[in-house]
Amino acid sequence: MRPVYLILLFILISPALADDWSMFKKDTSHSGFTTDAVSPPPVLKWTSNLGSDSDSSPVVVDGTLYVGSNYGVHALDVSSGRELWTYHTNGFVKSVPSVAGGVLYIGADDRRFYAMNAKNGSLMWIYENATDGISSSPAVAGSRVYVGSKDGTLYALDIRTGEPAWSFLTGRGIESSPAVQEGNVYFGNNKGFITALDAGSGKEKWHYDTGVGVIKSSPAVANGLVVTGSTDSSIYALTANGTLRWKYSTGGNVESSPSTMDGIVYAGSNDGNMYAIDSTAGKLRWKYYAGGFVDSSPAISNDIVYFGSRNNIIYALDANTGRLLWRNSTGQNEKDYITSPAVSGNTLYAVTHSGIVYAYSSSAQATPTATLEATPTETPAVRETTTVPVATPSPGATVTPAGTPKAPGFEYTGLILLVIFLIRKKLS
């Protein structure tokens, strides 16, 4: 019986072994890919109301979900959706957090870049020398955090002090989020340039002028290519030295940031399609028409592509064929479309522009809709307790009704202690 107890114990503690989704698009190369699996059709585990609109996207680290809103930065417990802390900024937070070494880094429209304790939200340092808002999402690599600003500057800051190691002025606003790979920093700007800098010195290695359009899309780096989208309706793939490998034209602006897996590039377009393109030849593998603008950046899990559309639906497609596996509505309001989803463990996380956080799990056990109980921090938030209606599923979706909240982690903690007791008793 010993193996049975040990297997059960492993199953119970496995949520703690979930792969973190610690920054925008999962990692510094912006792959948008995780080996964690969410099997469709997932069930709705919980929802939580941020109390404010959100243009940010979630990240998940060590059992905590972090996301920005028009109010500030929020931390939620992933098992229940209960709010752990909120930090109030003086401007909208469209940036997606990056969490590394117990520190959360994020920019805001108040022209400030923040570093705060990820556990309790206490402020560690602020960089205040940007001359315009920061909606670019930071990337942490080594001892530096890289982020762009609407003032046209790409900043490299020391992660401990916030002191600038270097800055690079492009002349136009940067809303694209930098990717960092093999000592290089890649990003786009609002002049249509794709730029590569030396991560150590900040010196320009090359830039590619797309000619027209704005690049809000954030580059993904894979298989020796730098891939990003443009508002000229195209997806660009550049080689490591900045030459054009291929260009694929869609029918609308490409503000979605590409994700990559096994030599395939996945990106949405405002023509309403999700595209899968062969990264070697730039040829279409498949496309799926979602109906509304697809500026959501896809998350790839277990050969499944998850993304949202402006028609307020979350989609799950087979990554190899584009076949629809699951979809679910997030409401009827014009603000009920999701930003870019994240996957950690067996759970898919998504946030709507209206500020509703959704957790969909492939586990059979669903937990209730959350009520917010803000924990005071250096800048405490005071909110009313709010219950959020469960979204009405599209055909094929499975939703478990909301119930009574339990203390986060209660089931796992109690069962783990029971199993440990049984193991000790059996071995004695």
pLDDT reported for residue 370:
55
User: What token pair was written down for 142?
Assistant: 């080594």
The pair of three-digit structure tokens given for residue 387, joined into one six-digit string: 């219950």
**202-235: per-residue pLDDT in tens?**
999 999 999 989 999 999 999 999 999 999 999 9
Domain extents in the chain:
42-362
Q: Are 104 and 118 in contact (CB under 8 A)?
A: yes
Where is pLDDT greater, at 168 or 428? 168
The predicted pLDDT at position 371 comes to 44
As a whole number, mean pLDDT of residues 320-346 equals: 97
pLDDT band at 17 (very low <50, low <70, confident <90, very high): low
What are the tens digits of pLDDT across the range 93-117?
999 999 999 999 999 999 999 999 9
The answer to whether 268 and 296 have CB atoms below 8 angstroms apart is yes
Spatial neighbors of 38 by CB under 8 A, at least 6 apart, are 301, 302, 304, 306, 343, 346, 347, 348, 360, 361, 362
C-beta atoms surrounding 426 within 10 Å: 11
358-376 exposure pattern, b = at least 16 Cβ within 10 A, e = fewer: bbbbbbeebbbbbbbebee
Give CA angle at 258 (26, 60), nearest 5°. 20
Structure confidence at residue 392 (pLDDT): 29
CATH superfamily for domain 42-362: YVTN repeat-like/Quinoprotein amine dehydrogenase (2.130.10.10)
User: Does 47 have pLDDT greater than 90?
Assistant: yes
